[in-house]
A and B are shown apart, each in its own frame.
Chain A
Amino acid sequence: MPVLNNKDLLGIKELSADEIKHILDTASGFKDVLKRDIKKVPTLRGRTVVNLFFEPSTRTRTSFELAAKRLSTDVINFSVPTSSVVKGETLIDTALTVQALGADFMIVRHSSSGVPHLLAKNLRASVINAGDGTNEHPTQALLDAFTMREKKGRIEGLEVVIVGDIAHSRVAKSNIYCLTKLGAKVRLVGPPTLIPDGIAKLGVDVYYDMDEGLRGADVVMMLRIQMERQGKGFFPSTEEYFGRWGLTSERFALAKKDAIVMHPGPMNRGIEISSDVADGERSVILEQVTNGLAVRMAVLYLLAGVKA
């Protein structure tokens, strides 16, 4: 009878379209809760959530922390610089120690792909992937899908353009899985150096020319250009990048009149997106943040049901 049967959320790749839809439907209920004066429900009272972050993150960690608190759980933040990882403890030992403290959920972020999967196999607790290397960031894709569905009323048939560093982006990867499963048409746009060969196998179209890729789009999703990639031969300079793949209002006009623009944050204004677009009427960037809370509450709630 339950829709979700796996104790962990490791990636969108492992989910069915029905499971994704059930998470989004459940998130709608939590979004209503977040609009009230009392934004907290007693649903998961007595459970413990541990944020286990081996890579710095403020937004995702804060979002998970608040989502967990809104469900009345107790939350502990465990981050690398203050942990015993620096003292040489292995990854699994660290996680087992945290579990022994009574963690029911572990929210894991790590710079290596596959770490959440490894931990999930070794733990009783539910593991939620909060970003692993260049692999996946499932809750980001879920909140993006939630936002699109809310704004456009559907996902099926939408023309969604994802622009930027596809090769290094776990956000792009999770979004490709999620959107194709839900029936959207996905286009990837960026410099050839940042779009992996063979990605079209995932059922997406690739464009190297931004104007061509934007034409007729319903949703334009801009990815963050990581400054540390600069000077490594992926693109000549941030100025040239902005000139060719940056989203300006002139370029955005090539998309449909009612197209929306999204960004997972943090934004580099003037590098991948201009300020007038980022702050414009059709930007849903801050709504994505709010929806992230509702989606993460839904994920915690549904996974709690798997183990109850």
Chain B
Amino acid sequence: MSKKLLDKQEIERAIVRISHEIIERNKGVENLCLVGIQKGGVYLAMRLAKKIGEIEKTEIPVGSLDITFYRDDLMIRRQPVVSKTEIPCDVTGKKVVLVDDVFFTGRSIRAAMDAIMDIGRPALIQLAVLIDRGHRELPIRADYVGKNIPTSLDERVEVLLEEDGHEDSVVLMRREDAGAK
């Protein structure tokens, strides 16, 4: 039982709109650095960086951030494989835009902010997400949102991307079906 929330074209439009919003809000791209949260945010960050680069005719630094060591206890139990943290620039003094696929409780974003602050001292941190599904447990909000989708807690939102071998789409499924993608 799954329902398609966004298709390829709608994802593309969201990326284009968020790219323009990032440029507008930051009055250009000076000192901008995009950082995708492993794993879901990394490809989106790369797409945003590419699009912003095309619009502004320049190269935007883009990195990936693994937040495993900054998670709260619930995640430790799963012993997840640690992914790479690779940020191609010194984040100190930069305008860092964190990128994630689905914005849910806010706990990953809290962890990501701590992880970034241990690497350097950014001038500011902003947050871009493709989907905001609500149910925040922390006082954190996104600066750029692809689409707001009200969900219930027994549902799960999956962002499927070509880079991972899927057709670009965002789907809503019942929790018990999740993981069988």
Contact = CB atoms under 8 A, between A and B. Distances in A.
A22 B114 contact: no
A131 to B, nearest CB: 25
Given A29-B69, A29-B82, A41-B70, A305 B77 contact: yes
A26 interface: yes
A7 B177 CA distance: 31
B79 A41 contact: no
B70 A2 contact: no
A302 B79 contact: yes
B118 A36 contact: yes
Interface in B68-120: 68-71, 73-74, 76-79, 81-85, 114, 118-119
Contacts of B68: 29
A41 B79 CA distance: 16
Interface in A1-45: 1-4, 22, 25-26, 28-30, 32-33, 36, 38, 40-43
Given A36-B118, A38-B118, A41-B70, A305 B85 contact: no
Contacts of A43: 69-71, 76
A1 B78 contact: yes
A308 B81 contact: no
Given A36-B118, A36-B119, A42-B114, A3 B69 contact: no
B38 to A, nearest CB: 11
A304 B76 contact: yes
Contacts of B70: 41-43
B76 A33 contact: no
Which of B71, B82, B83 is packed against the most chain A CB atoms within 10 Å? B82
Interface string B35-75: 00000000000000000000000000000001011110110
A2 B69 contact: no
Nearest to B84: A32
A4 B78 CA distance: 9
A34 B90 CA distance: 17
A54 interface: no
A305 B69 contact: no
Given A25-B81, A26-B82, A42-B70, A308 B118 contact: no
Interface residues of A, number: 23
A22 B119 contact: no
Contact of A3 (B74, B76, B79, B84): B79
A301 interface: yes
B85 A32 contact: yes
A251 B134 CA distance: 67
A28 B76 contact: no
Nearest to A5: B79
A73 to B, nearest CB: 13
A22 B81 contact: yes
Contacts of A308: 73-74, 76-77
Given A33-B69, A305-B76, A305-B77, A41 B82 contact: no
A139 B114 CA distance: 29
B118 A41 contact: yes
Which of B69, B73, B119 is packed against the most chain A CB atoms within 10 Å? B69
Given A1-B78, A4-B79, 7 more contacts: A29-B66, A29-B68, A29-B82, A30-B82, A43-B71, A308-B73, A308-B77
Interface of A: 1-4, 22, 25-26, 28-30, 32-33, 36, 38, 40-43, 301-302, 304-305, 308
Interface of B: 66, 68-71, 73-74, 76-79, 81-85, 114, 118-119
13 contacts: A2-B78, A3-B79, A22-B81, A30-B82, A32-B84, A36-B119, A38-B119, A41-B118, A43-B69, A43-B70, A305-B76, A308-B73, A308-B77
